[in-house]
Amino acid sequence: MAGVLVAQPPPSVREQARGYVATLAGPAMHGRGYVSGGDSLAADWIAAQFDRLGLAPLDGQRYQRFHFPVNTFPDSVRVAIGGTVLQPGIDFITDPASGPAEGRFALVRPTFADLADPDARARLFARPPGWAAYLDRPATTDKDSLHAYAAFEAELVRHAPVLKQGGSKLTWSVANEALPHAVIELRAGAMPAGADSVELHVRDRFIPAHAARNVFGAARARKKGSTDWLVITAHYDHLGRMGPDALFPGANDNASGTAMLLCLAERIARHPLKKVNVLFIAFAGEEAGLQGSMWCAAHPPVDLRRIKLLINLDLNGTGDDGITVVNATEQRKAFDALVAINKRTRRLAQVKPRGPACNSDHCPFALKGVPAIFLYTMGGVSWYHDVNDRPETLPLTAFDGLYRTLIDLVDRY
Ligand SMILES: [Zn+2]
């Protein structure tokens, strides 16, 4: 008599992902950026995970090395206005391209009209050093005016430090250049009324050729000698630290996608695909302008023509409103397959199509004709490029649903 087959529910990978995210976005990895070797520590850790999961190096190489210029802030960034010491990362951020400033500066408040007037500008720039400009948010939304304002600001920073009034949300980033003076963005409400001076201690360190590494792991197909590839990618770098006091953990961006990549790697290393090899790539330098994926697409580790599909995972940590598929309109087959899987399983609230966008690491490959899609989750917490994108508050709502959906998709190869 045949035994009774009981369908076992697949085990949850969310708890495992939580552990990965906690490690990658923990303080010991320094925000996986450019202070205290954060990105390099993350690369070592991911390589150790690939070893543990049984992913092979590619042609003997675990890493792909490349370089790019980056502006960094290893030292404490201090801003005090009218006796109030502002909190780094919360009350202010440096412009990513900020240069240095040291000492007390008289605040000058040029208006848009001042900046637009060549004589007023000339008088301003002729002032002896010891002043900093404070710029209010432009009152206009007119494109030409905003463009002019940005041009005046760029001219201003060649002469003196600049403080800019930002919005209620501060969004940090990474720059590949360094300006001659400090540029500081203040949170709305952080500028004390009537302040006439500012104390700045800002010291950037510009690195002309920062050494970074993409990390490779391969799982060969069951079919011997297959030359076809499925490529699964996620960037592991984030913004790092703005001095020792402001950590940008990057839990959603992109410890979450890296965790998804590791969970998929574990499953596929144990159960290789039938016909297609799988290459996992953890990219560096995404936040610095898709540096790792651009280098990789220009120096491809496998024949780009043999890539059946590239799936890029970035911002996979929420999901109340389902997922968006970037490049869905160009990669109809892959998108339709995801929709069909979800119609049957109802794991995700929505599988939403989006057109091409050069907003993550799929892009340099898509531009070279590789069939590539990028998946991100929607809804839930919206911390982004700030000190609040932390593991403790990352819900991972759709993590299991997306993981199983992706397994169903890749198992067709
Ligand atoms: Zn990202």
- Per DSSP, the three-state class of 83 is coil
Q: Is the pTM of this model over 0.75?
A: yes
Single-letter code of the amino acid located at 133: A
Tell me the C-alpha distance between 313 and 137, whole Å: 35
Single-letter code of the amino acid located at 246: A
Tell me the C-alpha distance between 248 and 41, whole Å: 15
- Phi/psi for 208 (5° steps) reads -65, -30
Element (H, E) at 256: helix 256-270
212 C-alpha to ligand 1 centroid (Å): 16
List Cα–Cα distances, 30 to 9, 152, 212, 215, 245, in angstroms: 37, 35, 15, 19, 11
Q: Which of 334, 249, 179, 180 is nearest to 24 (CA)?
A: 249
Structure tokens belonging to residue 33 = 């950026």
217 C-alpha to ligand 1 centroid (Å): 20
Tell me the C-alpha distance between 81 and 96, whole Å: 21
Tell me the C-alpha distance between 86 and 166, whole Å: 14
250 C-alpha to ligand 1 centroid (Å): 8
183 C-alpha to ligand 1 centroid (Å): 24
365 C-alpha to ligand 1 centroid (Å): 16
Pairing relation of β-strands 240-242 and 205-219? Answer: unpaired
361 C-alpha to ligand 1 centroid (Å): 9
252 C-alpha to ligand 1 centroid (Å): 8
Tell me the C-alpha distance between 1 and 277, whole Å: 40
DSSP letter assigned to residue 152 = H
Q: State residue 7's pLDDT score.
A: 60
Angle, vertex CA 116, rays to CA 110 and CA 118, nearest 5: 100
82 C-alpha to ligand 1 centroid (Å): 37
243 C-alpha to ligand 1 centroid (Å): 21
195 C-alpha to ligand 1 centroid (Å): 37
Tell me the C-alpha distance between 228 and 243, whole Å: 45
List Cα–Cα distances, 377 to 62, 76, 287, in angstroms: 29, 34, 18
Angle, vertex CA 46, rays to CA 314 and CA 357, nearest 5: 20
CA-based end-to-end distance of the chain: 35
Q: Tens of pLDDT along 164-184?
A: 999 999 999 999 999 999 999
CB 308 within 8 A of CB 318: no
254 C-alpha to ligand 1 centroid (Å): 5
- Residue 294 CA, chain-centre distance (Å), reads 15
92 C-alpha to ligand 1 centroid (Å): 22
Q: Which residue has the tokens 């900020």?
A: 98
Q: State residue 1's pLDDT score.
A: 47
| Domains along the chain with CATH numbers | 14-70+207-410 (3.40.630.10), 78-202 (3.50.30)
How do the pLDDT tens digits run along the chain, 413 residues long?
445 566 665 668 999 999 999 999 999 999 999 999 999 999 999 999 999 999 999 999 999 999 999 999 999 999 999 889 999 999 999 999 999 999 999 999 998 888 889 999 999 999 999 999 999 888 888 898 889 888 999 999 999 999 999 999 999 999 999 999 999 999 999 998 889 999 999 999 999 999 999 999 999 999 999 999 999 999 999 999 999 999 999 999 999 999 999 999 999 999 999 999 999 999 999 999 999 999 999 999 999 999 999 999 999 999 999 999 999 999 999 999 999 999 999 999 999 999 999 999 999 999 999 999 999 999 998 899 999 999 999 999 999 999 999 999 999 99
Structure tokens belonging to residue 353 = 């199509």
CB 71 within 8 A of CB 97: yes
Q: Which of 174, 186, 191 is nearest to 98 (CA)?
A: 174
253 C-alpha to ligand 1 centroid (Å): 5
Q: Which of 174, 317, 291 is nearest to 240 (CA)?
A: 174
